[in-house]
């Protein structure tokens, strides 16, 4: 026994140093890095997009790092889709309309006239009525992965001029979404397309008379309530429809556990936005001291609502996909109209 021990010790003494060295520690893999641009400027982006990025960067534990860029910082908002498709940007938060999507979904993103009444209509339409499948399939055809859609605020008007009747819309130069502008032009509105961050100054210089771009929460958050005087309580849509999009190859390359993390972040932050907007719209209408509330009588505003029905028919005739989406909006609106309050006003 003693001899055996001595042999072992002698063998250890002459063994190569490498054999006795401490086990090597594997070096941490470099983090996966993405560039992510949102349609929103910095003040709004702090509430609507940055929470998603913060969630991912914290929870990824160094495996993934996302750098957030706000409206127009890498490319103009109207070029977001092209930049995403070619990989200049890895992921985007935007509506289909603003980013000039080449898919049939473009017309429905942002504010499709009177398609929704409340913020929660959007996830219901996507998850319960089949819009998610349509969006996913259409973006797959053009090399982009659609991840999720959510609602935000309604589309009201904040203006320098007082609006109390439909005739007051005639000649108003408004910053708005392409589809909303197309719809509103029949009432004399002049849609103006400028970079998001230029809108506030454009009101001050007279280039714009106001915005048909958001609800009152955003008006106060981004500074538009400081340069306009009135807020029209009538809206042309109850909720913005926006989505998270990812470059198809970048998403395919992402490990499954990080895909789950990204989706968890998106869903968690959808919940945050729901309460931020819903509470903000009520609180600022009730207690805000910058914008005076005005309304067009319901019987007169019904003309705008009826025009939307004709607009839907016009859009449905443009393609088979358009017709399918419009039919879903019609089905859902039929359900909530039967249900009554609080689903309808």
pTM score of the predicted model: 0.89
- Predicted confidence band at 24 (pLDDT cuts at 50, 70, 90)? very low
Residues 6+ apart with CB under 8 A from 1: none
pLDDT digits over 260-288, tens only? 999 999 999 999 999 999 999 999 999 99
- Predicted confidence band at 292 (pLDDT cuts at 50, 70, 90)? very high
Classify 195 as helix, strand or coil: coil
Tell me what pLDDT residue 29 has: 80
Residue 12: pLDDT above 50? no
- Predicted confidence band at 28 (pLDDT cuts at 50, 70, 90)? low
Tell me the HSE value of 261 on the side-chain side, using a 13 A CA sphere: 20
Tell me the CATH class for 32-152+240-286.
alpha beta
Q: Which two tokens stand for residue 40?
A: 């929103």
Dihedral Cα 55, 56, 59, 65, nearest 10 deg: -130
The average pLDDT across 9-36 equals 56
């Amino acid at each position: 026994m003693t001899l055996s021990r001595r042999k072992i010790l002698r063998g250890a003494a002459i063994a190569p140093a490498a054999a006795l060295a401490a086990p090597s520690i594997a070096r941490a893999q470099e983090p996966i890095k993405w560039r992510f641009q949102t349609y929103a400027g910095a003040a709004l982006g702090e509430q609507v997009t940055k929470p998603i990025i913060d969630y991912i960067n914290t929870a990824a534990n160094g495996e993934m790092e996302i750098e957030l860029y706000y409206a127009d910082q890498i490319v103009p908002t109207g070029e977001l889709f092209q930049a995403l498709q070619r990989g200049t940007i890895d992921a985007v938060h935007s509506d289909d309309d603003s980013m000039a999507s080449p898919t049939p979904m473009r017309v429905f993103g942002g504010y499709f006239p009177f398609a929704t009444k409340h913020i929660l209509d959007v996830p219901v339409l996507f998850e319960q009525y089949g819009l998610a499948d349509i969006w996913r399939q259409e973006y797959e055809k053009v090399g982009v992965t659609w991840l999720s859609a959510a609602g935000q605020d309604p589309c009201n008007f904040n203006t320098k001029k007082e609006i109390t009747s439909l005739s007051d819309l005639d000649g108003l130069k408004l910053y708005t979404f392409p589809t909303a502008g197309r719809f509103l032009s029949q009432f004399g509105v002049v849609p103006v397309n400028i970079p998001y961050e230029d809108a506030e100054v454009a009101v001050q210089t007279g280039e714009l008379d106001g915005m048909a771009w958001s609800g009152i929460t955003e008006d106060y958050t981004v500074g538009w309530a400081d340069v306009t005087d009135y807020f029209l309580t009538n809206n042309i849509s109850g909720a913005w429809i926006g989505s998270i999009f990812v470059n198809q190859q970048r998403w395919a390359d992402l490990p499954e556990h990080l895909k789950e993390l990204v989706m968890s972040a998106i869903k968690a932050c959808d919940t945050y936005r729901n309460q931020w907007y819903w509470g903000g719209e009520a609180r600022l209408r009730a207690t805000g001291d910058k914008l005076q509330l005005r309304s067009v009588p319901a019987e007169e505003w019904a003309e705008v609502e009826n025009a939307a029905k004709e607009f839907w028919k016009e859009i449905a005739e443009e393609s088979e996909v358009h017709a399918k989406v419009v039919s879903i909006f019609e089905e859902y609106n039929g359900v909530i109209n039967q249900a009554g309050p609080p689903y309808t006003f």
